[in-house]
Structure 1
Amino acid sequence: MQDLHIVDGDSAAGCLRHAIVTGQLSGEVFALNDWLSVGPLGSAAGRTDFLSTQYLPPPPGAGEPDDLEPGDDVFARWDALKTRFQVPGRAILWISGNASDHVLLRMACHMLEATRVKLWQVSVPAFGDWFESVATHPPEALARFAPTARPLSSATVANLAREFIAIAAHPEPVRHLDTDGTLRYRSIDLHDALLLTCCPYQWTPANYVAGNAMSRCERRNGLSDHFFAARLRALINRGQIESRTPLSDAGWDWRINVRRAGGTDLR
C-alpha cells in the first residue's frame, strides 16, 4: 500500500498533492478538512450540532469562507479511512505547532490505533513569523520535510490516543496551545474582546474586521474565518456590534458593513 499523507485543511492538502503530482513526493493525501481546536470532540452528534449553530453557509453570491465544510462528519471520515488499512501500510501525519494539529496528532492515534497502519509524523516547523501551519509552506518545502518523518512507537500511539480521550472530555469549546505545549481550555467568547478592538466606530466591511482579528491571533492559535464570522454574528445579536443590514437567518454574508456599537456616520 502506498503512503497516505494525513493533514488538516484544504490548503495544506493542495500543497501536498502538488508535490505528489510534480514527483517530489509519493503517495496520496487525506484531508481532514476541519478545525480541531474548536468544538466538541466527544461524539459525532455533538460536533455536528456545534458546527450547525456556529458555521453558517453564505447566501447565494456572497463571499465564502475558505475552509471547513459544516455538516461534514469528521468521525465518519475517520471510519471510512480505517477500512483502507486492512493490510499493513504507512500513514504520515503532517503536524505543525498549532493547537488544531496538536489535537489532530492525538485524534489520529485514537482513531487508527486498532488498525494495522504504521503511523509516522512529520513535524513541520514555523515559517518565519507566520502562523504555525502546514499550509504556510510551499510544496517544494514540504517535500524537503518529508525525509524527516519518524515512526511513532506503539507505546507513543497508545499514550497519544489516551491524551485525545482526555481532550475530548473537556466541555470548553476552544482549545488554546501555550508556548510550553500545554493545551488549555477556554470559552467560546475568548476572542470577542479582540474582535471589538478590531471593529471601528465607522462602517467597515465585516471581512476587514475579521481579517484584522485573525492576523492578531497568537501564532499557535490561529482560527478560521468561519469562527470569526460566528463570533461577529454573536456580537451583533448582543448589540455590541451593529450591522448596516439585517442579519439573514439563511447564512453569513461577508459583504455586510459593521461598526462598534455607539458609532456615528461620518458626514
Structure 2
Amino acid sequence: MKTTHIIPGDSAAGSLREALRIAGRDDDLLVFQDDLSCGPIADMAPSARAVWRQMDGWDIENSLHAFWLNASKADRLVVWFGRHSAREMAFRLAWAWRMAGRHYHVIDVTGLRVPVRWGNGTDGVIQSAQAVSIIPGNGLATLFGRERNVSANEDILNQRRWEKLMADNAPFRVVTADGLASAPIDHFDALLLAQANSEWKKVAFIIGNALGLSSDPYLQVGDMALHERVINLVEEGALIADGDPSEMRTCQVRLPS
C-alpha cells in the first residue's frame, strides 16, 4: 500500500520533498496550495475560493479540484501540520471536514524537538516546532514513522470546529491558546501601521517587519494577506503611498502628516 503525504503550502512541500529524497522513499506528495486562514469559507467549493483568490498564472479552481480528487483516490494518507501555524491548522480542520469518514494518519509537529542541519552547513536543534514549514527537509526526514491514527472522536471534534469557523465566515482565522479563532478584517492593521512612521519605507519592509512580529508564539498570517491589507490601508488614507502599493518592492509608504 503506497503512502501519500498531504501538506499545506509550497514552502512546507519543498521541505517534505527534500525529506522524502533524503529518506530514499518513493511515497507520493499532494500539496494544498490555498491558504484557508484567510478569506471567506462559508462556501468551501473550489469555485468559490477561486472567485475570492484570483491570481495570475494559477488556475486555482482546477488545482483544488485535482487535490481533493487525488486525495480521495490515495491508498494510505498521512497529513502533516503544526497547530501553531494558522495556515496549517486551518487546513487540518478543513481536511477533517472534507474527508469525513475517511481513515488517515497525522504527523503533528507542534512542540517537537527536531535536530536539523541549516543551509549554511551548521547543525542545530529546533527546540519546539511551530509548523512543518519552518523545519528543513533533513529535520522532517527524522519524523517518518511517527504518524498516528486519528480516532473517530477526534475527527468529529475537528469537523465541528471547522463548521463553527465556516459559520463565522470571518476574513481571518488566527491561532490562540484555545485553538483556531475567527478574526476581523482589521486584525493585523495596527501591527502594520506600527511599522510605519513619517519617513518613506518600502511596502516590503513594512510587511517583512509585521511578518516577523506576528510569528511568535504563533505563525499567524502570510505576506500576501498582509500586502492586501497595506493596499487597503492606502485606499482608506491610513497610509500615504509613493507609487503603486501593489508593487511591494518599489512602492514606499508613510503615515499621513
Instruction: Give TM class, smaller chain.
Output: 0.7 to 0.9
**Larger relative contact order, structure 1 or 2 (CA cutoff 8 Å, min sep 6):** 1
8 A contact 2:36–2:87 mirrored in 1: yes
2:81 paired with 1:95: yes
* Residue 107 to residue 48, structure 1, CA distance change in 2 (3 Å): same
- Residue 209 (structure 1) aligns with: 206
SS in 2 for 1:148: coil
8 A contact 2:90–2:180 mirrored in 1: no
- Residue 117 (structure 2) aligns with: none
Aligned-pair CA distance for 1:154: 3.0
2:109 paired with 1:109: no
**Separation in 1, partners of 2:127, 2:232:** 31
Q: Compute the TM-score of the two structures, normalised by the length of structure 2.
A: 0.82
Taking the TM superposition and a 5 Å limit, the aligned residue runs for 1:1-267 are 1-43=1-43, 44=45, 45-52=47-54, 72-73=60-61, 75-85=64-74, 89-97=75-83, 98-115=85-102, 118-126=103-111, 128=126, 132-179=130-177, 181-217=178-214, 218-247=216-245, 252-262=247-257
**1:218-259 superposed Cα distances (whole Å, 9 cap, x missing partner):** 432431110111011001111111111245xxx544321111
Aligned-pair CA distance for 1:78: 4.3
**Separation in 2, partners of 1:2, 1:22:** 18
**Separation in 1, partners of 2:128, 2:238:** 30
Q: Match of 1:50, as an amino acid?
A: W
**Separation in 2, partners of 1:139, 1:131:** 14
Quote the sequence identity (%).
21
Aligned-pair CA distance for 1:197: 0.5
Aligned-pair CA distance for 1:25: 4.3
8 A contact 2:199–2:254 mirrored in 1: yes
Aligned-pair CA distance for 1:38: 1.0
Q: Give structure 1 stretches of 5+ with no counterpart.
A: 58-68, 263-267
Q: Match of 1:257, as an amino acid?
A: Q
8 A contact 1:199–1:209 mirrored in 2: yes
**1:47-72 superposed Cα distances (whole Å, 9 cap, x missing partner):** 333323xxx65xxxxxxxxxxx8661
**Separation in 1, partners of 2:169, 2:133:** 29
**Equivalent pairs, count:** 239
8 A contact 1:131–1:222 mirrored in 2: no
**Separation in 2, partners of 1:71, 1:187:** 28
Aligned-pair CA distance for 1:30: 0.9
Aligned-pair CA distance for 1:83: 4.3
**1:61-94 superposed Cα distances (whole Å, 9 cap, x missing partner):** xxxxxxxx86613752443224424xxx211111
Aligned-pair CA distance for 1:107: 1.3
SS in 2 for 1:147: coil
Aligned-pair CA distance for 1:110: 1.8
**Separation in 1, partners of 2:157, 2:25:** 29
Q: Compute the TM-score of the two structures, normalised by the length of structure 1.
A: 0.80
Q: Give structure 2 stretches of 5+ with no counterpart.
A: 114-125
8 A contact 1:96–1:134 mirrored in 2: yes
**Separation in 2, partners of 1:7, 1:110:** 16
**Separation in 2, partners of 1:24, 1:154:** 32
Q: Match of 2:65, as an amino acid?
A: A
